[in-house]
Amino acid sequence: MALFFKTLALMAFASYAYCSHAPGYSYNRFSGPVSGKIVEVQVPAAHGVPAQQHADYGYDHQAGKINPETAKYDRLKTVDYVAKPDYHYAYGVDDPHTGNQQNHKEYRDGDVVHGEYSLVEPDGSLRLVKYTADPKNGFQATVHKHANHQAPRPAPAQHKHDERESDY
């Protein structure tokens, strides 16, 4: 028993000896006052990709240089790959086991998206949402609720007795 307590004391001492504050790997937000004058920073208009340089496997570091061939591209151009995007999709769920009933369909014509979805609420009412989204008006939705829908009834639970089960 004495050996057990000696080992326990040694382990406690060793764990205490290795205790230290772990380095922080998170970001903190600073919201206090900032003192000093405000200086405007001028950023050069030319951007470039540093040239490939390979160093040996030592601990030294070689600074990259701007490649003059790539520095002439000072502004990036966006390219619209699909001039008029369009798609259509629809899906539906009718699960008698859980009572989950829902449908969704949507189509896009250019920058305008039209769609609707419906689902049966737990109280049995049917919620129907029709929506449109475009760059001018944003997302516009109309919600209709129909209370005369039958409430879904989940399937009765069935418990099976396993022959391998026994009283322990």
Query: If DSSP states are collapsed to H, E and C, what string results for the chain?
Result: CHHHHHHHHHHHHHHHHCCCCCCCCCCCCCCCCCCCCCCCCCCCCCCCCECCCCCCCCCCCCCCCECHHHHCCCCCCCCCCCCCCEEEEEEEEEECCCCEEEEEEEEEECCEEEEEEEEECCCCCEEEEEEEEECCCEEEEEEEEECCCCCCCCCCCCCCCCCCCCCC
Give the separation between CA 149 and CA 128, rounded to whole angstroms: 12
pLDDT for res 27: 64
Confidence of residue 128 (pLDDT cuts 50, 70, 90): very high
- pLDDT confidence of residue 4: 87
- Please indicate, yes or no, whether the overall pTM of this predicted structure exceeds 0.75: no
Residue-wise pLDDT tens digits, 76-113: 666 666 677 888 999 999 888 888 889 999 999 988 99
Tell me what pLDDT residue 34 has: 65
Half-sphere exposure at residue 56, Cβ-oriented, CA atoms within 13 angstroms? 3
Residue 167: pLDDT over 60? no
Strands 126-134 and 138-146, how do they pair?
antiparallel
Burial of 78 (0-12, 13-18, 19+ CB in 10 A): exposed
Q: How many CB atoms lie within 10 A of CB 62?
A: 9
pLDDT at residue 159 tops 70: no
What is the model's pLDDT at position 46?
64
CB 148 within 8 A of CB 124: no
Calculate mean pLDDT across residues 115-128.
Answer: 90
- Within 13 Å of residue 102, how many CA atoms lie on the same side as its CB? 10
39 band by pLDDT with thresholds 50, 70 and 90: confident
**Of 114, 66, 63, 107, nearest to 88 (Cα)?**
107
pLDDT of residue 153: 63
Higher pLDDT, 47 or 168: 47
pLDDT at residue 130 above 90?
yes
pLDDT in tens, 7-32: 888 888 777 656 666 666 666 666 66
Q: What is the gyration radius of the CA atoms in the chain, in angstroms?
A: 33
* pLDDT tens digits, one per residue of 49-76: 666 666 555 555 556 666 666 656 555 6
